[in-house]
């Protein structure tokens, strides 16, 4: 950094020079001003430290005043040779220090400080978007008054800590002048754009965009689904069957029938007994039933049937929501209407397979074939967006 000396004469020295021919130069008691700073370039609003303690005055005189002119309309008078100053206006500022000793003599020196302007931010964005739409933000017309390059930091949501550093502010969700943002929830969404120039000048601007819900038409479609299984079990054996019949649907009714194959000669070979157990872990419900064979002309069987498991909802209406997926989720998880969600576990056990009439001393049938058929009546929510 450079400084400029501005030498001055005291009035008494000037008179002395006039009265004594041949006297040249400064008086032997004139002080010598020196100035330095920790930096010579700063950004608007930053502080800079000046030091004039290297200034001297010939002994036995001493410097008693340091008069600072910061070139921005502010001046300060100090008794010590150090001072700090904030520059609020950009541009080149000539800072002048004048030192005065106890004889009233003074000397001045100046230096130039460059104060960098912060970038100017210009954001172009839509007035509103619908949930799930992409909003395009354009800050490419932002500029640095000094013509420097710019870096962009977009924080899409000032209330959410997307980088996990514990501070929701200052997240770098995008770092280009153009940003694409998808908003999934309705409401006023607020973010912050920070722009940094090549000298570290920083500007930030908060922006808000309105995100509006979508309108959907809802109707419930009734459907019937059927599951069938069959196999063979020895006495004491069990088999478990797992499925999820209520996935993306509301279960209204179900009917289950377990039927055993008949013995070839029921009067000689007694019918077997099987049990059917149903467990719905997420609903917290279970029940069991066993086969009966009171009539030898019919297969041994058992039946489990329930209806009105959930309400049949109103159909054909409009609803506001952020997305079709969110609406379907809320309809299927409506309080009091979640019976039957999750896995259904059907367990079939061969409780009793009575010994049959031996053939050559061997029981010809130590188990039984079975078949299980389950029918469900379900309602499926159908959601279609309405253009508005």
Cα angle for residues 4, 7, 11 (degrees, 5° grid):
155
Q: Give the Cα separation of 122 and 154 in Å (integer).
A: 13
Whether the pLDDT of residue 7 is over 60: the answer is: no
Residues composing the chain: 388
Taking domain 217-386, whether its CATH number is 2.60.120.380 is answered by yes
Is 386 within 8 Å of 216 (Cβ atoms)?
A: yes
Question: What mean pLDDT do residues 26-48 have?
Answer: 91
Question: What mean pLDDT do residues 278-301 have?
Answer: 84
The contacts of residue 333 (CB under 8 Å, 6+ apart) are none
Q: How far is CA 224 from the centre of its chain?
A: 41
Report residue 13's pLDDT band, with 50, 70 and 90 as the boundaries. very low
pLDDT tens digits for range 90-149: 999 999 999 999 999 999 999 999 999 999 999 999 999 999 899 999 999 999 999 999
Report residue 11's pLDDT band, with 50, 70 and 90 as the boundaries. very low
Strands 82-86 and 47-51: antiparallel
Strands 91-101 and 250-260: unpaired
Q: For position 261, what pLDDT does the model report?
A: 82
CATH architecture of 128-212: Sandwich (2.60)
Mean pLDDT of all residues belonging to the chain = 88
Cα angle for residues 227, 228, 229 (degrees, 5° grid):
130
Report residue 259's pLDDT band, with 50, 70 and 90 as the boundaries. very high
Q: For position 17, what pLDDT does the model report?
A: 29
Q: Give the Cα separation of 128 and 210 in Å (integer).
A: 5
Report residue 10's pLDDT band, with 50, 70 and 90 as the boundaries. very low
The H or E element spanning position 17 is helix 11-19
Q: For position 297, what pLDDT does the model report?
A: 53
pLDDT tens digits for range 320-363: 999 999 999 999 999 999 999 999 999 999 988 766 555 555 55
Q: For position 29, what pLDDT does the model report?
A: 87
Q: For position 16, what pLDDT does the model report?
A: 29
Tell me how crowded residue 62 is: count the other CB atoms within 10 A of its CB: 12
Q: 3-116 has which CATH code?
A: 2.60.40.10
Nearest to 332 by CA among 310, 307, 315: 310
Whole-prediction pTM value? Answer: 0.61
What are phi and psi for residue 15, nearest 5 degrees?
A: -65, -40
Question: What mean pLDDT do residues 226-252 have?
Answer: 95
Q: Would you list the DSSP string of 102-171?
A: TTS-EEEEEEEEEEEPPPBP--B--SEEETTPEEEEE-TT-B-TT---EEEEEES-TTS-TT-SS-STT-
pLDDT tens digits for range 164-179: 888 888 889 999 999 9
Is 76 within 8 Å of 115 (Cβ atoms)?
A: no
Q: For position 263, what pLDDT does the model report?
A: 58
**DSSP label of 362:** B
SS3 296: coil
All CATH 2.60.120.380 domain ranges in the chain, comma separated: 217-386
The H or E element spanning position 331 is helix 324-332
Q: For position 57, what pLDDT does the model report?
A: 96
Q: Give the Cα separation of 217 and 320 in Å (integer).
A: 9
All CATH 2.60.40.10 domain ranges in the chain, comma separated: 3-116, 128-212
What are phi and psi for residue 286, nearest 5 degrees?
A: -155, 155
Is 105 within 8 Å of 13 (Cβ atoms)?
A: yes
Is 158 within 8 Å of 173 (Cβ atoms)?
A: no
Question: What mean pLDDT do residues 59-82 have?
Answer: 96
Report residue 300's pLDDT band, with 50, 70 and 90 as the boundaries. confident
Nearest to 234 by CA among 142, 381, 365, 146: 365
């Amino acid at each position: 950094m450079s400084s400029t000396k501005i030498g001055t004469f005291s009035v008494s020295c000037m008179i002395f020079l006039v009265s004594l021919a041949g006297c040249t130069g400064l008086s032997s008691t004139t002080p010598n001003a020196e100035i330095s700073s920790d930096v010579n370039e700063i950004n608007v609003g930053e502080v800079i430290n000046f030091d004039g303690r290297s200034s001297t005055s010939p002994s036995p005189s001493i410097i008693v005043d340091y008069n600072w002119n910061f070139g921005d309309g502010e001046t300060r008078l100090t008794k010590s040779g150090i001072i700090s100053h904030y520059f609020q206006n950009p541009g080149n500022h000539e800072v002048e220090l004048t030192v005065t000793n106890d004889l009233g003599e003074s000397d001045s020196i100046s230096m130039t400080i460059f104060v960098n302007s912060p970038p100017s931010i210009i954001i172009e964005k839509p007035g509103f978007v619908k949930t799930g739409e992409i909003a395009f933000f354009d800050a490419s017309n932002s500029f640095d008054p000094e013509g420097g390059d710019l870096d962009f930091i977009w924080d899409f949501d000032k209330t959410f800590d997307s980088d996990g550093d514990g501070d929701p502010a200052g997240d770098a969700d995008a770092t280009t002048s153009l940003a694409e943002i998808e908003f999934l929830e309705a409401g006023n969404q607020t973010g912050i754009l920070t722009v940094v120039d090549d000298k570290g000048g920083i500007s930030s601007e908060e922006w808000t965009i309105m995100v509006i819900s979508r309108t959907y038409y809802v109707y419930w479609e009734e459907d019937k689904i059927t599951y069938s299984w069959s196999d063979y079990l020895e006495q004491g054996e069990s088999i478990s069957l797992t499925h999820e019949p209520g996935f993306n649907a509301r279960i209204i009714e179900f009917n289950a029938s377990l039927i055993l194959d008949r013995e070839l000669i029921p009067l000689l070979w007694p019918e077997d007994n099987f049990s059917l157990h149903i467990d719905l872990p997420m609903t917290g419900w279970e029940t069991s039933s066993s086969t009966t064979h009171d009539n030898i002309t019919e297969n041994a069987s058992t039946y489990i049937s329930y209806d009105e498991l959930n309400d049949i909802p109103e159909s054909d209406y409009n609803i506001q929501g952020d997305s079709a997926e969110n609406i379907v989720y809320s309809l299927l998880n409506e309080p009091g209407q979640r019976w039957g969600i999750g896995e259904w576990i059907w367990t079939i056990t061969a409780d009793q397979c009575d010994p049959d009439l031996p053939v050559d001393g061997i029981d010809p049938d130590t188990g039984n074939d079975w078949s299980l058929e389950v029918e469900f009546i379900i309602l499926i929510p159908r959601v279609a967006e309405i253009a508005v």
